[in-house]
């Protein structure tokens, strides 16, 4: 491209977005997902009336709930049919034309592919429970307070479930959260990013008394991606155990949990992993914590203490119904219960899609697509006073999501317009909308449509706000004489 043609490119044109989509090597993945139509989104019944040419919505909310892969219902049919026709034999029966293994092995079946997603060895991942439950199970093993070290460092704006989990762990050990929870707060409230420098300094300050550091891979509100290897190594060098909540990072960022020497991590599968609401979670435990010594007839095996259940016990003796818990060597030894086959089936479908590409290819597209979103927003000078982007501008410090902070008083109206026009993003009060182009199913055209509608929404919301303010000041003027000030509060 010459300099002249480069200049002529209009990023806001539909032709440009379409041409980018045509050149996208991952574009065919979009058709493997069910994208809701606008009328389906607005309908209050399960099966809406037939429409000639239903328009797909613009879905940029995979950071909250990923879309349904078409494979999911096919695989769920296999599962339901097996259950219907085999009953309990479904646990053991190999079915030739089913995409699923006997239920007894559904957990093992997904491990290899899940390890790939988070950069772990096969013995370091368990697919089990849910995110908050897994954080608790990990803390039961790795938060072992002593008289010298008992504090937990966490962000002040952590996802509330993580805050509650940490607080309750402290209370469980008779520690006072007010003095034992070290909350990392942004230095500048206008820029709610936590720099690595600040995190390392906080670790240094509390190192002698801190037992555990728990941080998110990607911060849910700002979209900031933390420097996991640097922070992990630094905290560990001070004797602190390090855990990561990867809710917004799993399936979004290439991760190397084993190489980064992370102690433990937990994640969910309903965001970028597209397994459906509340679906099964994941747990990573570094292999140095998962060794199990052989039990003798007189002594129990030696292993990292944990809260246990039968599914974590040695598979070969699981049905022997003896009372000697012998954990599976590996993260699998943290499992409690037999897993939901419906959840595992959804995960199998999801991972079969991830297997058709690579996280490197997805990340490459993601950087470009989120970069396009950022460029369009920054070039939307007509509404520049309505918002700012709080996610770091450095692509290395973010994943797919941009968090857009609206000027006070605009959020409700902006969301109202977006929803009406079939643009799906989510809001985080008081003033942020999160916009996440997921590289598996989003396109340049989606991003362009979002920005077009967002600009309309900002203009509409500002007009309404100005109108309200004008009416308010008229009331104030009038109020002075005959209505009183209280009317305008």
Ligand X SMILES: Cc1ncc(COP(=O)(O)O)c(C=O)c1O
CA-nearest of 225, 266, 224, 268 to 243 is: 266
Task: Single out the residue of 62, 69, 102, 216 in contact with ligand X (rule: CB under 6 A).
Answer: 216
Neighbours of 167 (CB within 10 A): 17
Task: Single out the residue of 27, 56, 98, 161 in contact with ligand X (rule: CB under 6 A).
Answer: 161
Nearer to ligand X, 252 or 443 (CB): 252
Taking CB under 6 A as the rule, does residue 155 contact ligand X? no
Question: d(Cα 293, Cα 302) in Å, to the nearest integer?
Answer: 5
**Binding segment (CB under 6 A) for ligand X, from list 124-132, 223-231, 368-376, 460-468:** 124-132
Please give the annotated binding residues for pyridoxal 5'-phosphate, written as ranges: 131-132, 159-162, 245, 248, 270, 310, 338
DSSP symbol at 176: -
CA-nearest of 72, 83, 427 to 270 is: 72
DSSP 56-119: BPEE-BTTTSPPEEHHHHHHHHHHHHHHHHHGGGGGT---TT-SS--GGGHHHHHHHHHHHHHT
CA torsion angle 29 283 257 215 (round to 10): 100
Q: How far is the CB of 193 from ligand X (least distance, A)?
A: 16
Nearer to ligand X, 132 or 345 (CB): 132
Question: d(Cα 222, Cα 183) in Å, to the nearest integer?
Answer: 17
Binding mask 259-298 for ligand X (x = CB under 6 A): ---------x------------------------------
Q: How far is the CB of 215 from ligand X (least distance, A)?
A: 10
Nearer to ligand X, 280 or 458 (CB): 280
Handedness of CA 265, 269, 412, 463 (dihedral sign): positive
Nearer to ligand X, 20 or 130 (CB): 130
Burial class (CB in 10 A: 0-12, 13-18, 19+), 80: middle
Taking CB under 6 A as the rule, does residue 387 contact ligand X? no
Residue nearest to ligand X (CB): 132
Contact 82, 100 (CB under 8 A): yes
> What distance separates the 2 farthest-apart alpha carbons in the chain?
93
Question: d(Cα 21, Cα 363) in Å, to the nearest integer?
Answer: 16
Taking CB under 6 A as the rule, does residue 130 contact ligand X? yes
Task: Single out the residue of 72, 76, 82, 132 in contact with ligand X (rule: CB under 6 A).
Answer: 132
User: Considering only residues 226-255, where is the footprint of ligand X by CB under 6 A?
Assistant: 245, 247-248
Nearer to ligand X, 111 or 265 (CB): 265
Nearer to ligand X, 327 or 339 (CB): 339
Q: How far is the CB of 317 from ligand X (least distance, A)?
A: 31
The footprint of ligand X (CB under 6 A) covers 130-132, 159, 161-162, 216, 220, 245, 247-248, 268
């Amino acid at each position: 491209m010459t300099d002249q043609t480069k200049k002529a490119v209009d990023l806001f044109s539909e032709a440009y977005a379409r041409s980018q989509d045509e050149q996208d090597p991952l574009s065919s993945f979009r058709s493997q997902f069910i994208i809701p139509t606008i009328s389906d989104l607005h309908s209050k019944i399960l099966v809406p009336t037939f429409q000639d040419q239903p328009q797909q919505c613009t879905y940029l909310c995979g950071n909250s709930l990923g879309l349904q892969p078409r494979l999911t219902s096919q695989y769920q049919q296999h599962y339901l049919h097996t259950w219907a026709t085999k009953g309990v034999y479904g646990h053991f029966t190999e079915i030739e034309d089913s995409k699923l293994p006997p239920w007894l092995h559904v957990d093992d079946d997904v491990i290899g592919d899940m390890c790939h997603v988070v950069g772990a060895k096969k013995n370091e991942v368990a697919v089990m429970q849910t995110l908050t439950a897994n954080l608790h199970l990990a803390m039961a093993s790795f938060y072992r307070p002593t008289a010298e070290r008992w504090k937990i460092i966490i962000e002040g704006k952590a996802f509330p479930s993580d805050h509650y989990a940490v607080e309750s762990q402290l209370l469980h050990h008779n520690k006072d959260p007010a003095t034992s929870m070290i909350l990392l707060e942004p230095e500048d409230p206008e820029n709610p990013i936590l720099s690595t420098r600040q995190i390392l300094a906080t670790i240094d300050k509390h190192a002698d008394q801190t037992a555990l550091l728990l941080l998110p891979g990607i911060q849910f509100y700002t979209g900031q991606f933390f420097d996991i290897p640097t922070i992990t190594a630094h905290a560990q060098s001070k004797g602190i155990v390090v855990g990561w909540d990867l809710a917004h990072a799993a399936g979004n960022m290439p991760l190397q949990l084993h190489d980064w020497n992370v102690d433990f991590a937990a994640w969910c599968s309903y965001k970028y992993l597209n397994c459906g609401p509340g679906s099964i979670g994941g747990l990573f435990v570094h292999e140095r914590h998962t060794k199990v010594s052989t039990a003798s007839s007189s002594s129990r095996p030696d292993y990292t203490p944990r809260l246990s259940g039968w599914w974590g016990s040695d598979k070969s003796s699981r049905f022997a119904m003896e009372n000697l818990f012998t954990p599976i060597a590996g993260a699998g030894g943290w499992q409690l219960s037999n897993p939901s086959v419906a959840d595992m089936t959804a995960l199998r479908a999801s991972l079969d899609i991830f297997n058709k590409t690579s996280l490197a290819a997805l990340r490459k597209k993601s950087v470009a697509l989120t970069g396009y979103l950022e460029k369009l927003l920054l070039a939307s000078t007509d509404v520049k006073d309505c918002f700012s982007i709080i996610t770091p501008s450095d692509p290395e410090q973010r994943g797919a999501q941009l968090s857009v902070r609206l000027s006070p008083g605009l959020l409700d109206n902006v969301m109202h317009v977006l929803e009406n026009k079939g643009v799906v993003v989510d809001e985080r009060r008081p003033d942020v909308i999160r916009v996440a182009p997921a590289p598996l199913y989003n396109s340049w055209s989606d991003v362009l449509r979002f920005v077009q509608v967002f600009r309309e929404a900002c203009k509409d919301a500002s007009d309404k706000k100005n109108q309200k303010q004008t009416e308010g000041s008229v009331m104030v003027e009038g109020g002075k004489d005959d209505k009183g000030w209280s009317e305008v509060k």
